[in-house]
Structure 1
Amino acid sequence: MGKHILVIAQYFYPEQFRINDICTEWVKRGYKVTVITGIPNYPQGKYFDGYGIFKKRKEVFNGIEIIRIPLIPRGNSSIMLALNYLSFVMSGFVWNVFTKIKADYVFIFEVSPMTQALPGVWYARKRRIPCYLYVQDLWPENVEIITGISNKYIIGGIGKLVDYIYARCTRIFTTSKSFVESINKRGVSNEIIEYWPQYAEDFYRPLKKARKKEIPSDDAFNIIFAGNIGNAQGLDILPKVATMIKKNQIKRKIRFNVVGDGRYKKALIEIVKTNNLEDLFNFIPKQPAHKIPEFMAACDAAFLCLIKNPLFAMTIPAKLQSYMACGMPIIASAEGETNKIINESKAGVVSPSGNVEELYKVITEISSKKDEELKMMGQESRSYSDKHFNKEKLLTRMDEFFTDDLDLEGKKIV
């Protein structure tokens, strides 16, 4: 058995995050992998069927040993979300005191909250082993945007917590180049910060165009959005664009196929109904990740958007890699890193975040393109994915970091 990686991830299988695939690949590469995670409850806010405080607290998935520590489900309120974050840390502290696990590395998969990194940091310091942090969401910036909290004392306190975590990491990996600069500004040396973009799982691949029963069979230009339907996605822009489409009666029917679940879904459906836009929308329940390429193959283009904010201009949403791996033409309402990648790859059309008129224009533009032009966009999309988000190359690079961070005698660094 190879080296032992202890992964700290508040969200893990059956919740759908990229860390599931990363851990699976590590097992294939000969590592022993143990994951410390919570009881699955994302994004619905309640425990998944079959899971609970006294049910399935230990599990094996694809050769990965999963240990689930107690936590309070997210629910649907800010108070419940705060308790969810806090409970994971408290359970992680208790686990750290009593655990007998002996790992060689700690790898922390950080999507919000950053607080989930604490049990990993504590364990790594206790065992004097390398600690790796993979930053998906920047804190405290993310807290300000999502919660609206701007009190300087609260944000300052969170900032000190973040600095505490950064200072105790051997290396910090980021999903975008802009994150490298932001973390460096907090006093972290560039020598330990690495850009390591996300990749798409192997099942994300181009499929032959095919009908899907959940998507009406007509001559509409089908646009798919697949993923979490949350506030940060800025999906409130779609009903506004749909209103313009309906008002201007553009030649080709447009349909937005929204696949997924999340805290904002109920509100979005209500807005669509209130504005009599049901004929332009098709809401599809959350699907297993491996099924998403089939839905993409039944559509003409894929959509992603982020709210207008300096932080999201630095962010590369995970669905961008998924869309590109499937060879989809992309429509985006985004800025910064995402805008740059789509324009550089020639994989689609982009409008500024939150700009309804410009999004209407690019949707009108792409929906009027010939099939050959759309096919070319899709090919450029896949080609860029193969070149810049290649799974094997990225994982091999991570192997090299693991090797470099143990000295020649195999002793763990401190």
Structure 2
Amino acid sequence: MHILFLSDNFPPEVNAPASRTFEHCREWVKAGHQVTVITCAPNFPKGRVFDGYRNRFWQSADMEGIRVIRVWSYITRNEGFAKRILDYLSYMVTSFVAALFVRRVDIIVATSPQFFTACAGWAVSVVKWRPWVFELRDIWPESIRAVSAMKASRALDVLEKIELFLYRRATAIVSVTHSFKENLIQRGIAGDKIHVVTNGVDIQQFFPRPKDTELEATLGLQGKFVAGYIGTQGMAHGLDTLLDAATLLRNTVGGDAFHIVMLGDGASRVALQKRAQEEGLSAVLFVDTVPKADVARYWSLLDASIIHLKKNDLFSTVIPSKLFECMAMGTPVLHGVEGESARIITEADAGLLFQPENAEALVAGLVRLRDDAELAARLRRNGPVAAQKYDRKALASDMLRLLQTLGGEADGSGHHPRQAHL
């Protein structure tokens, strides 16, 4: 079977969509299928093309058996609504054009979080007369409202109408959370076309290991209780709460016994760094994004992992992908997200919950993990056990079975069912 996958993020980018897409496609190739990914020049989140790449109209390469076609797009930093829309629209157009030249496709997959990629997926399915799958990673554009990136307007209303149009036209929808599925059903989308394949973790790469003493020394973290936030530093993440916690720790615990490492980039990073500098928060260490292969070294340094999103009903439907990596690493989680992801932590007994945007509660959790060695040890043991349920290989196989069914391979007939709702 030939799977055509549209995603504007792909390695060497290291965000969640890039990792999920690559790890799934890699497994599908290993299973004997042909996979073509149409993406753009790697540039997320700094809005600067990575070294060794150029923003051209067409480039093709092989990555572990995956044919990767990179197309031109308008590149901008991950901030500013208007410029980001131009980014999304440009990729929508050029990915659609590129897809027209990919031959003998059996099924098309288009992934969010922004749904302009899904628009391209639908359009390609119409032209090629093939089924298409909308991989739903975010309820967009509702998430724009949640972070106040754009005021309520007719433009958002139009985007929501397009969103519903795409849900209805998709042959199937693959949702990364059960909450997203419930949201769509409540909005009139047929539940039998929505399939849940959660995010997961490559357990061959992320597993318990001793602290990387060389890296620990380089960063000056010896003898410290190290908490860390690893991932995108965006508007939705409410990371000022971590700086509030750092201030409280300095004023109440004293000294620099606690250090907070913040690894990554995003729309909020510059403002966070500026605030930390102005307030003299020397125990907050900002680290630039590192290659995916090096991320586990930084996880190994952490005595606690902080996961946080702003307090908003929409974010209670989200499962941050970093959750699975820190569980697999055996890092106790301090989890400031309500809803489905909080239930995962509670059931796994892999961390402690705290109320989003509540710095006092975060500090209490940090102190508790430092002072209660038995608790910390239990959480470290339980995380890797729970992570086995989210092995990326198994999840890739689950999604592949769905694609084979939709692509006409379930019975070996070679029949390609026409996209049902053009």
- TM-score tier, shorter chain, comes to over 0.9
Partner of 1:37: 39
Partner of 2:51: 49
Q: Is the 8 A contact 1:346 1:381 kept in 2?
A: yes
Are residues 1:315 and 2:313 paired? no
Quick one: which of 234, 238, 241 aligns to 2:238? Answer: 234
Distance 1:149 1:344 in 2: 36
Quick one: which of 61, 81, 84 aligns to 2:84? Answer: 81
* Within-5 A mapping of 1:265-414: 265-278=269-282, 280-370=283-373, 372-386=374-388, 388-405=389-406, 406=408, 408=411, 409-414=413-418
Partner of 1:262: 266
TM-score normalized with structure 1 length: 0.93
Partner of 2:9: 11
Query: What letter is aligned with 1:411?
Result: H
- 1:250 CA displacement: 5.5
Partner of 1:204: 206
Partner of 2:168: 167
Which SS does the other structure have where 1:203 is aligned? coil
Distance 2:368 2:256 in 1: 11
1:37–1:141 Cα change, 3 Å: same
The number of residue pairs the alignment matches comes to: 407
- 1:106 CA displacement: 0.8
Distance 1:226 1:84 in 2: 25
TM-score normalized with structure 2 length: 0.91
Structure 1 stretch displaced more, 266-275 or 391-400 = 391-400
Question: Could you list the per-position Cα deviations for residues 48-84 of structure 1 after superposition, in whole angstroms to 9, with x for gaps in the alignment?
Answer: 2232233872221111111112110023533321211
Distance 1:130 1:55 in 2: 26
Partner of 1:28: 30
- 1:150 CA displacement: 3.6
Distance 1:214 1:293 in 2: 16
Question: Could you list the per-position Cα deviations for residues 19-43 of structure 1 after superposition, in whole angstroms to 9, with x for gaps in the alignment?
Answer: 1111111111111010111222110
Note the residue ranges of structure 2 that are not aligned, 5 or more in a row: none
Which SS does the other structure have where 1:228 is aligned? coil
- 1:401 CA displacement: 1.4
Question: Could you list the per-position Cα deviations for residues 140-192 of structure 1 after superposition, in whole angstroms to 9, with x for gaps in the alignment?
Answer: 21122245324342222111111121112121111111101111122211001
Distance 1:392 1:37 in 2: 22
Q: Is the 8 A contact 1:50 1:56 kept in 2?
A: no
Q: Is the 8 A contact 1:250 1:364 kept in 2?
A: no
Partner of 2:136: 135
Q: Is the 8 A contact 1:130 1:170 kept in 2?
A: yes
Distance 2:279 2:234 in 1: 20
CA RMSD of aligned residues (A): 1.9
1:275–1:251 Cα change, 3 Å: closer
1:125–1:328 Cα change, 3 Å: same
Partner of 1:71: 73
Structure number with the bigger relative contact order (C-alpha 8 A, sep ≥ 6) is 2
